[in-house]
Chain A
Amino acid sequence: MTLKIYWKGIQTMNKQIVKIENLNVKIGRKKILDNVHIQFQKGESVVIAGRNGAGKSTFLRCLAKVILPDQGSIVYSAEVTPEKIGFISDRISLFENFTLKQGIDFHTSVFHLEDFDYTLINQLKLDLNQKIKGLSVGERTLYHLSLLLSQKPEILLIDEIIHTIDPYLREQFLEAIIDLMDRCQTTVIMINHTFSEIEKIPERVLVMEEGQFVLDEKMETLGEKIKRIELKEDLSEEIPCIFKRESSFHKEYFIYPFKEELKKAFPYEFKDLSLNEIIKAFVGGQYAKKRNQ
């Protein structure tokens, strides 16, 4: 790939792929998604984090058109026809009684695909004549992924599955996704709780809380906006702190939004955080807020 294509990639990235407005989902009387407004660009890779029960999965399922919202709109750009939306979750049921081969044949005929890429399946050494229900959770995920990859999706939605697969398959999984991102400029939106493996893939980080996005930042700038201070005494109230951890001999404060002026005004040492710690601080902050209510 030449850099010219890279610049073409950058240009297409400013093209919107989906626009979500006023999205509301209720289950019973409980609001799961509360007036969500957000847009995603072509080729973007996004990670969504948040507390359990914050509404992340429901949001992704709306995008995948698995559930219909009570209110609001999800408008995809014209090239995103239904077969260009890929959705992987450990809750999806495949045709369990089919053999792998039957599943692939069915998939390719329904979506009118000309060929099927067996690379992943071959890497796993899967027997094509076994039934889908005989696959392990991780194998199922990779099998499902290879079905989706053959559709060359414009958008790939991944609901918390990395932890279900073993380290070797994780690598295969990530490589397949990186390959797809580069080849097809696919938009990837994933929900995750652990970040050590995928840390360097997302370009944009979202945190969801009570059905709304409370954080929407570019990866590149997020690190500059959140810092950590370790202290023995209490933190000045002029510093915006989203989360603190205390033990008997030291206190830890997570600062957001951080500004350079703070460095001049206070003698503290402002430390950088990894993505994992950043997310933990935000999620922990949400729990703390909840307790105080």
Chain B
Amino acid sequence: MFRFNIDFSSPVPIYQQVIQAVKFEILSGRLNHGDQLPPIRELAKILKLNPNTVAKAYYNLEEEGFTQSKRGSGNWVNFKKAKLDRLRKGMIEDDLRGFLDRALSLGASFDDIKNLLERYSNNE
């Protein structure tokens, strides 16, 4: 059973955080095609969330095509490979944007960041 980190002080709505967390589990391979998501009531209890919040997240995941609900048996991971690549790109881009904002506000230039990246890619 995986345990998400929900940041209660974050302005990001909780159901969005649950969606992000499930997507992250999928991308990182801890949840695979055909795996079952925890039942709504169980996840709500683990995370101390309103069950409606979890249900809303699951509903959105299904709308976005990452899971499928089967009547009476819960929610199952179900996605297409191409979708995953697009998602991975999007998530990395979001993180990168946050990182760049912070680096630039600390006074780094794009060249500094490029140099840093090169050093990392050369395994230094």
Q: Which residues of A contact B (CB under 8 A)?
A: 1-4, 6, 9-10, 43, 45, 171, 174-175, 178-179, 181-183, 196-203, 220, 223, 272, 274
Contacts and interface: CB of A to CB of B under 8 A. Distances in A.
A274 B9 contact: yes
B78 interface: no
Contact of A6 (B9, B55, B73): B55
Contact of B52 (A4, A171, A183, A203): A203
Interface in B46-67: 47-53, 55-56, 58-59, 62
B50 A45 contact: yes
Contacts of A202: 50
B91 interface: no
B59 to A, nearest CB: 5
A6 B73 CA distance: 14
Contact of A178 (B9, B45, B58, B75): B45
Given A1-B55, A2-B70, A3-B59, A197 B48 contact: yes
B13 interface: yes
Given A200-B6, A201-B50, 4 more contacts: A2-B69, A2-B73, A178-B45, A179-B45
A6 B75 CA distance: 12
B29 interface: no
Contacts of A9: 52, 55
Given A182-B41, A223-B11, A3 B58 contact: yes
23 contacts: A1-B41, A2-B72, A2-B73, A2-B75, A3-B55, A3-B58, A3-B62, A6-B40, A6-B52, A6-B55, A9-B55, A171-B48, A174-B45, A175-B48, A178-B48, A179-B45, A182-B41, A182-B44, A182-B51, A183-B41, A202-B50, A223-B11, A274-B9
Contact of A203 (B6, B8, B50, B55): B50
Nearest to B69: A3
Interface in B1-23: 6, 8-9, 11, 13-14
A200 B14 contact: yes
Shortest 4 CB-CB distances between A and B: which pairs? A272-B11, A182-B51, A6-B55, A182-B41
A6 B41 contact: no
B49 to A, nearest CB: 5
B71 interface: yes
A2 B71 contact: yes
A26 B73 CA distance: 53
B30 to A, nearest CB: 23
Contacts of B8: 196, 199-200, 274
B39 interface: yes
Nearest to B63: A3
A141 to B, nearest CB: 18
B106 to A, nearest CB: 17
Nearest to B40: A1
A223 B39 CA distance: 28
Contacts of A179: 41, 45
A223 to B, nearest CB: 6
Contacts of B74: 1-2
Nearest to B44: A178
Contacts of B9: 274
B55 to A, nearest CB: 4
Nearest to B46: A175
| Residue among B8, B45, B52 facing the most chain A CB atoms (10 A cut-off) | B52
A181 B59 contact: no
Contacts of B47: 200
A209 to B, nearest CB: 26
Contacts of B55: 1, 3, 6, 9
Most interface-central of B8, B62, B70, B71 (chain A CB within 10 A):
B8
Nearest to A200: B49
